[in-house]
């Protein structure tokens, strides 16, 4: 599919999401708030199902006695739910206070703000004027954007476009400025008419700040909304260890909101300022950590496939050594080819990082930095730790081997909103189905995995009379305690099927004239469109079984 089709596909998905009540812009009646999204009736069910699948597959359904395929040995899992606002020292020691920032530049003319690393461009000359045309577009969109910007700047008509002379290809603005090959005065900002309107880049911390207490004002009252859920798990490592009889290797899982004051939220919910994460910190023996890293990387990859994401659109990407954080021994990203990205580009769904003993040691000793290949406590100008740790012993004593060590950590960190978006994009299909008269009718269908589908089944009486509504209601009440079921008697059956297809409902049950005589109903499958007759009393078991095995 070419890029343009992909963009129109994305537009259709966004419009379906709004029209059917999956996702709305936050505070829409006041014009909306950039980077914030609300989940409507179908969206909240989809997102909850996704989080439930994750919790069930990673935590509550985990068999602690078995060795899962690829794992070095059996392991335990525990859950946690901790606060969004934590002691400010947490973020100083974790590195978020010092390091969690982006560089941004403002345009004095258009008042727009850009992430410095998102700006690229190329030199264009016409007659005696030479400018560096800056674009904030990425991938395939960047070149055409610079072309139209240059045409407008030089005041040319479309047929004069060939008169522009270009030097080289698209290059990052930041690198050219740093090397002195691009001067700010010769840059044409993405939304400006004049040259040289971009400010120098400024650092911008991505953490939202707040104040604690009624008399807030001093520096001691400053607090932050968490930018990740992971740190709460490290805060409770010892609590969980001391209270729940777990022993290494074990993992602690948490699902919760995180906040990042992203400079340029974009691409629907992909880059939001408030979002949910599903994170695991897995604590293991240092010698086994590489094997555990591989296990979690492969396990998490398989999870997306098992829930139906198209394999060809998923990518597992190991980071190169120069991309790794200073503490990380290995990191892999699970990425999806979202329709809003250029051909060949992928967006991150989840990162799986081998974090060594960085976090537990930092929170014990003080913020660590790498020096000569070693992690050491960073010193301030006074020679004291720059950010003090808790001083608490966060090591682990192995009763069997009688060894004491600081466990190594493997962190699979996923975003619930990005996963919902990937599943929505992947599920979106347009095809043709025969209508009641056998004529082809185009339909929009969300082919969501039954576990994820907001509604599992819709019960439709063919007509609103002759006892059909009563039998349909009986069946609805039988199904409701077991799965999300809906009763719908409004409109023609064809239109009711269409509504359910758009909502991603895997099964529709129709109660017709024959149902009243032999107590059988028609079960329609969303994807295959196969219709089969099933006894009313067999429906609950049949659908429960299909839901459990994931067969639609
Ligand atoms: P990116 O590079 O895309 O900003 P990241 O590497 O900073 O992401 P992590 O810090 O590894 O992301 O966070 C783990 C997961 O949390 C990501 O894989 C993603 O699914 C989710 N996530 C991070 N930032 C956002 C955001 N602004 N909006 C929605 N989800 C996010």
Query: How buried is 125 (Cβ within 10 angstroms: 0-12 exposed, 13-18 middle, 19+ buried)?
Result: middle
Tell me, using a 6 A CB cutoff, whether residue 260 lines ligand 1. yes
Q: Which pair of structure tokens corresponds to residue 161?
A: 């476009």
Contact 283, 251 (CB under 8 A): yes
Ligand 1 pocket check for 420: Cβ under 6 Å: no
CB 357 within 8 A of CB 404: no
CA distance 311 to 393: 44
Which protein residue's CA is at the shortest distance from atom 23 of ligand 1?
415
96 lines ligand 1 (CB under 6 A): no
- Torsion, Cα 397 402 408 413, to 10 degrees, reads -60
**All residues at 6 or more sequence positions from 449 whose CB lies less than 8 Å from its CB, including other chains:** 307, 308, 423, 550, 552
Closest atom of ligand 1 to CA, residue 272: 28
Structure-block tokens of residue 273: 């300022």
- Calpha distance 258→550 (Å, rounded): 31
Q: Does residue 231 line the site of ligand 1, with CB under 6 A?
A: no
Give residue 221's pLDDT.
81
Q: Using a 6 Å cutoff on CB, does residue 226 contact ligand 1?
A: no
Report the separation in Å between the CA atom of 541 and the middle of ligand 1, taken as the mean of its atom positions. 40
- What separation in Å is there between the alpha carbon of 527 and the centre of ligand 1? 32
pLDDT at position 381: 82
Beta pairing, strands 368-371 & 347-356: unpaired
Q: Is the shortest distance between the CB of 275 and ligand 1 below 6 Å?
A: yes
pLDDT for 215 equals 64
Q: Is 49 in the pocket of ligand 1 (CB under 6 A)?
A: no
The enclosing H or E element of 120 equals: strand 120-126
What is the mean pLDDT of each successive set of 10 residues along the chain, which is 552 residues long?
Answer: 71 96 97 97 98 98 96 97 96 88 89 91 95 91 93 94 93 92 94 94 89 72 94 97 94 98 90 98 96 97 97 94 76 96 93 95 93 87 88 94 96 98 97 84 95 98 94 97 97 94 98 96 96 96 90 58
The closest-lying atom of ligand 1 relative to the alpha carbon of residue 273 is 27
pTM of the full predicted structure?
0.86
Which residue pairs from 21-26 have beta carbons closer than 8 angstroms and sit at least 24 positions apart in sequence?
A: 22/46, 22/424, 23/268, 23/269
Closest listed residue to residue 42, CA positions, set 27, 28, 23: 23
Ligand 1 atom nearest to 348, measured from its CA: 18
415 CA → ligand 1 middle, Å: 6
The confidence score (pLDDT) of residue 436 equals 74
Hey, which of 204, 225, 277 would you mutate to test ligand 1's pocket, going by the most ligand atoms within 8 Å of its Cβ? Answer: 277
The reported pLDDT for the residue numbered 190 is 96
483 neighbors 456 (Cβ within 8 angstroms) = yes
- Ligand 1 mean position to 80 CA, how many Å? 20
């Amino acid at each position: 599919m070419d890029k343009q089709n992909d963009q129109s596909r994305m537009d259709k998905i966004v419009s379906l999401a709004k029209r059917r009540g999956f996702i709305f812009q936050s505070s829409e009646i006041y014009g909306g708030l950039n980077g914030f999204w609300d989940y409507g009736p179908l969206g909240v069910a989809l997102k909850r199902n996704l989080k439930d699948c994750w919790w069930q597959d990673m935590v509550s359904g985990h068999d602690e006695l078995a060795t899962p395929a690829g794992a070095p040995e059996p392991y335990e899992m525990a859950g946690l739910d901790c606060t969004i606002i934590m002691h400010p020292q947490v973020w100083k020691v974790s590195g978020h206070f010092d390091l969690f920032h982006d560089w941004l530049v403002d345009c004095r003319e258009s008042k727009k703000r850009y992430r410095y690393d998102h700006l690229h461009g190329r030199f264009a000359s016409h007659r005696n004027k030479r400018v560096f045309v800056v674009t904030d577009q990425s991938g395939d969109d960047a070149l055409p954007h610079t072309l139209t910007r240059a045409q407008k700047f030089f005041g040319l008509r479309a047929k004069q476009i060939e008169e522009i002379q270009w030097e080289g290809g698209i290059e990052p603005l930041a690198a050219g400025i740093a090397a002195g090959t691009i001067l700010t005065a010769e840059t044409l900002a993405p939304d400006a008419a004049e040259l040289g309107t971009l400010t120098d880049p400024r650092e911008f911390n991505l953490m939202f700040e707040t104040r604690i207490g009624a008399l807030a004002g001093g520096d001691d009252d400053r607090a932050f909304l968490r930018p990740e859920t992971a740190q709460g798990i490290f805060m409770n490592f010892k609590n969980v260890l001391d209270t729940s009889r777990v022993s290494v290797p074990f993992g602690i899982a948490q699902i919760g909101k995180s906040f990042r004051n992203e400079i340029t939220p974009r691409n629907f919910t992909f880059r939001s300022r408030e979002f949910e994460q599903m994170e695991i910190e897995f604590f293991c023996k240092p010698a086994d950590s590489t094997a555990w890293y591989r296990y979690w990387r492969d396990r998490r990859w398989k999870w997306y496939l098992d829930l139906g994401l198209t394999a060809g659109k998923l990518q597992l990407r190991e980071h190169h050594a120069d991309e790794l954080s200073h503490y990380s021994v290995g990191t892999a990203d699970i990425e999806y080819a979202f329709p809003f990205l250029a051909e060949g580009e992928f967006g991150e769904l989840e990162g799986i990082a081998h974090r060594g003993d960085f976090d537990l040691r930092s929170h014990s000793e003080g913020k660590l930095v790498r020096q000569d290949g070693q992690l050491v406590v960073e010193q301030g100008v006074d020679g004291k730790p720059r950010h003090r740790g808790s001083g608490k012993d966060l090591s682990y004593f192995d009763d069997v081997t009688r060894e004491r060590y600081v466990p190594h950590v493997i962190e699979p960190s996923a975003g619930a909103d990005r996963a919902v978006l990937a599943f929505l994009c992947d599920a979106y299909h347009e095809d043709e189905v025969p209508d009641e008269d056998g004529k082809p009718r185009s339909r929009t269908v969300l082919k969501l995995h039954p576990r994820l589908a907001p509604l599992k089944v819709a019960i439709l009486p063919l007509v609103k009379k002759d006892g059909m509504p009563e039998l349909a209601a009986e069946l609805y009440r039988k199904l409701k305690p077991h799965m999300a079921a809906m009763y719908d008697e409004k409109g023609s059956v064809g239109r009711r099927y269409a509504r359910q297809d758009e909502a991603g409902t895997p099964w529709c049950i129709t109660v017709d004239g024959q149902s009243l005589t032999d107590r059988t109903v028609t079960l329609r499958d969303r994807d295959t469109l196969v219709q089969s007759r099933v006894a009313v009393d067999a429906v609950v078991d049949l659908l429960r079984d299909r839901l459990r095995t994931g067969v639609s």
